[in-house]
Amino acid sequence: MNNSIKYRPEIDGLRGIAIILVVLYHARFYLEEGFIVSGGFLGVDIFFVISGYLMMNIILKEINIYKAFSLKILLNFFESRLRRIWPAYFVLILVSIILFNYAFLGDTLNNFMKDSFFASIFQSNNWFSKKLTEYAAETSLNLPLLHSWSLSVEIQFYLIFPILIFLCFSFLRKKYFVVFLIISLVSISYAQFMQLELESERKSFYLLSTRFFELIIGSMVALIERNPGYQIILKNSEESKKSFKRFNNIGSFFGAAVLTYSIIFLNNENMHPSIYTLFPVIGTASLILFARENMFEKILSNKTIVGIGLISYSLYLWHFPIFSFPRSLYLFPEGNNYIKIILIFISIVFATFSYYIIEKPFRNRKIINFKNLLIFSSISIILLFSSTLYLVKTKKTFRNYPDFIAKNVNKISWKDVSDGLGYCYGRSKIYCRWNWEYDQVPRIYMVGDSHMSVLEKDIVDHAIANNIGIKLITGRFYLPDFKVFQKENNQEIKSYRKKIKKAENILTKKTENNIPAGGNIVIYGAYFSSYLKDNEYVQEGTERTSKTFYQPVTIKNPIDDKEIREKYILDGIEKSIINLLEKNIVILVYPIPEAGLLVGRKFMNLTLKDSTFIEGIPFDSWIEKNPYYITSPYSVYLERNKKVIELFNKLNHPNLYKVFSDKVFCNNQIKNRCITHNDKTIFYHDRSHLSPDGAKLVNANIIQILEKIYKNFPGDYTEVMKLYQSGEGVKPGEGLKSFIERNNIQIKNKVLK
């Protein structure tokens, strides 16, 4: 075997292509024909294959030099990885922490500090997996360190891989290829299983176990290259070389074709990682193996592409936070491609400085020897770990704000609702539920999009306290018999219909236990104006238009006319409510008023002018004594929701209850205005979603209606609940289920008429 590792510029060229794909994907350029490079996330998969290939080469080179797998090999390997990864990574996290602490407060800052902590110990992939963070979601683009998940995967691989090599070398007769093939098959199978089971499709995206095959396949390419038979062919006669060249041309073309196909046709709707991921992985592996002395080698060795590949690590580090910070602050419209070009240019500048000032010096042993590397790494690791842990625990910030702001900015209520499987928001395979042992009634279903998700916490607490069953079907607009299209490319999001059909069956046909549906309490609402108007109301900041649109499944081609779509949606909303009322009680939540601006951010900016403006001023005299009060026009609410309010007003049914959200916030304290705060708290965490304190005001009305329903509910369930809650005959610590079974109480499923 050859002990040297020959520099191959085409590998850096592949890195250049990978980082271009990733940056374009995260930039989200929108053109008339759609969102370009929808498969750009596959750039990370290209990086994984390259990484596995290089790591195998590095270790095999060391083994061939020392003729054994020794501690020296391990130390050399980990030193090279430390030099390569940690210094630039440390600077990125440190700068991000400083900027984020000055720019944000509340849950947003606290969640970021948690992200920073797990990123600093290379566990961010497991952290984001646990949070069920959807990588492709628009909100995920606001997480500055989300991209650190892939580095965590690589570091975890680097810790396991040398051990795997040692076991193969010492006990398995160097059967690397066979062992790697078995591990790859297991990893692919597990990834496919995770996509099909539970809520695991989001979790599996980040896990080492579901990504292991990508790195291992790259290592298998290195094994093929170093195979003696392969080396003999390379050095054989001219005739053999001609045949080998033809074979390389075919292999390179195959790899390029498969990789190109993946980038063009694979997108967020495909399961990933899964069997589909083999396309970009095999394409990349084929190019690494066969792009030699041919056209593909020349293309990948282009100086510009290679130059981008050389700075690809730093560019990967810096581009994501450079995009996420202004996105988090709503500093530019998502559709402004010119701003995105500027941000890419800024990212390249930062990456170039990082490469020459941080990466290259630390990788040069003559400039920074092992001792100095160890001192720097030890101090920086301890500093980052301890500082992030301290900031997470204490929730301290670099700037002092009045308590009114510090305690209330960016409080997000749906992040407080979770079960053993993670956050409940957007769940569709296994809904979050409590007190659900029996098919008794009444039980509560919360149904709707994120505007309903913010109401969950209080209603769940109320249901648990009263031993009422509750299930959350939230995180998406409930509109059966409709389909959703992405506006940028008119492609249907097919998963929506499947998820809504499941919810419709549970609510109106048969439960998951195959029992006829009915006799339940359905709390229904949504951000209706955004679907009807195709945008969000904005008082301050950049325009925010909807990324999707809805239309009936019976109409095949996308409808371009907004007014026609609006009519269909109104009809669909009415039909949905009427169908729910056939077998259930419905609590209809009228549209929640939009703030139209970031209230907390507005107050944060106002403190720069006068840090004492908000302290000690009762809300009754707020307007007279304080120039800084933030409201939205009631007329805007009435105009934007006119048609849906008219629809709700005309609906009449004995099992229909209505919650008038506007009466909570609008035209009370201030005539013709909707309030967004009082002297103690802020009611919104963004332009339209309520904060936990804002949600409490609406939920007080919902809970009042629930209690009224319980008193009048038919059947014997209420009596059982009264008996259980009285404590009569209940053993210490005995749960409801045990109490019912022990007393042989029969709970009947009553259907409302």
Domain boundaries defined on the chain: 9-394, 434-593+633-669+687-712
Preceding amide of 516 cis, omega within 30: no
**CA 596, 599, 601: angle at the middle one, nearest 5?**
115
Q: pTM here?
A: 0.79
- The pLDDT assigned to 83 comes to 95
Judged by average pLDDT, the poorest of 5-14, 115-124, 327-336 is 327-336
- The pLDDT assigned to 9 comes to 93
Q: Quick one: fold of 434-593+633-669+687-712? A: Rossmann fold (3.40.50)
- The pLDDT assigned to 46 comes to 97
How many other CB atoms are found less than 10 A from the CB of residue 644? 21
pLDDT tens, residue by residue, 263-274: 988 877 677 898
Once rounded to an integer, what is the mean pLDDT over residues 96-116?
84
In this predicted structure, the answer to whether residue 335 has a pLDDT above a threshold of 80 is: no
- The pLDDT assigned to 184 comes to 95
* DSSP annotation of 140: G
* DSSP annotation of 656: E
Is the dihedral angle over the CA atoms 740, 741, 742, 747 positive or is it negative?
positive
- The pLDDT assigned to 748 comes to 46
- pLDDT > 70: percent of the chain: 82
What does the alpha-carbon distance between residue 282 and residue 261 come to, in Å, rounded to a whole number? 12
CA–CA distance from 312 to each of 91, 98, 211, 355 (Å)? Answer: 16, 24, 20, 9
- The pLDDT assigned to 44 comes to 96
Amino acid identity, residue 347? S
435 or 20: which carries more pLDDT confidence? 20
Once rounded to an integer, what is the mean pLDDT over residues 240-269?
85
- The pLDDT assigned to 750 comes to 38
Judged by average pLDDT, the poorest of 409-418, 448-457, 564-573, 680-689 is 409-418
**CA 156, 161, 165: angle at the middle one, nearest 5?**
165
Judged by average pLDDT, the poorest of 256-260, 399-403, 459-463, 723-727 is 723-727
- The pLDDT assigned to 244 comes to 75
What does the alpha-carbon distance between residue 396 and residue 102 come to, in Å, rounded to a whole number? 11
Integer-rounded Cα radius of gyration of the chain: 29
257 or 399: which carries more pLDDT confidence? 257
According to DSSP, the residues that pair with 535 across neighbouring strands are 545
Is the dihedral angle over the CA atoms 498, 503, 509, 513 positive or is it negative?
positive
Nearest alpha-carbon partner for 328 in 109, 592, 47 = 109
Q: At 333, is the pLDDT very low, low, confident or very high (cuts 50, 70, 90)?
A: confident
684 or 37: which carries more pLDDT confidence? 684
pLDDT tens, residue by residue, 376-408: 999 999 999 999 999 888 877 776 666 667 766
For residue 217, give every residue at least 6 positions away whose Cβ sits within 8 Å of its Cβ, in sequence order, or none.
49, 52, 180, 184, 281, 282, 285
Q: Give yes or no for a contact between 414 and 692, defined as CB atoms under 8 angstroms apart.
A: no
Tell me which H or E stretch contains 244.
Answer: helix 238-265
In this predicted structure, the answer to whether residue 751 has a pLDDT above a threshold of 50 is: no
**Residue 722 structure tokens:** 């009264």
The runs of H, that is alpha helices, within 545-641 are 562-581, 599-607, 622-625, 634-640
Which residue is it, tokens 């001609």? Answer: 242
Nearest alpha-carbon partner for 292 in 192, 224, 340 = 224
- The pLDDT assigned to 717 comes to 53
Buried b (16+ CB within 10 A) or exposed e, 612-640: eebeebeeeebeeeeeebbbbbbebbeeb
According to DSSP, the residues that pair with 444 across neighbouring strands are 470, 521
Q: How many residues does the chain have?
A: 753
- The pLDDT assigned to 185 comes to 96
Q: At 229, is the pLDDT very low, low, confident or very high (cuts 50, 70, 90)?
A: low
- The pLDDT assigned to 752 comes to 34
What does the alpha-carbon distance between residue 253 and residue 249 come to, in Å, rounded to a whole number? 6
pLDDT tens, residue by residue, 567-581: 999 999 999 999 999
Nearest alpha-carbon partner for 22 in 256, 263, 252 = 263
In this predicted structure, the answer to whether residue 439 has a pLDDT above a threshold of 70 is: no
Ramachandran assignment for 696, one of left (phi > 0), alpha (psi -120 to 50 degrees), beta (any other): alpha
Pairing of strands 482-486, 443-448: unpaired
Q: At 72, is the pLDDT very low, low, confident or very high (cuts 50, 70, 90)?
A: confident
What does the alpha-carbon distance between residue 430 and residue 428 come to, in Å, rounded to a whole number? 6
- pLDDT > 90: percent of the chain: 50
- The pLDDT assigned to 749 comes to 40
Q: Give yes or no for a contact between 685 and 450, defined as CB atoms under 8 angstroms apart.
A: no
Once rounded to an integer, what is the mean pLDDT over residues 186-207?
82
Nearest alpha-carbon partner for 603 in 144, 104, 99, 98 = 104
pLDDT tens, residue by residue, 591-646: 999 999 888 877 777 766 555 555 544 445 554 445 557 889 999 999 999 999 99
240 or 405: which carries more pLDDT confidence? 405
- The pLDDT assigned to 569 comes to 95
pLDDT mean across residues, the chain: 84
Once rounded to an integer, what is the mean pLDDT over residues 299-324?
95
CA–CA distance from 587 to each of 660, 665, 706 (Å)? Answer: 11, 19, 9
- The pLDDT assigned to 753 comes to 30
DSSP string of 467-506, one letter each residue:
T-EEEEEESS---TTEEEEETTT--B-HHHHHHHHHHHHH
- The pLDDT assigned to 447 comes to 95
Describe the chain by its helix, strand, coil percentages, rounded to 5. 60, 10, 35
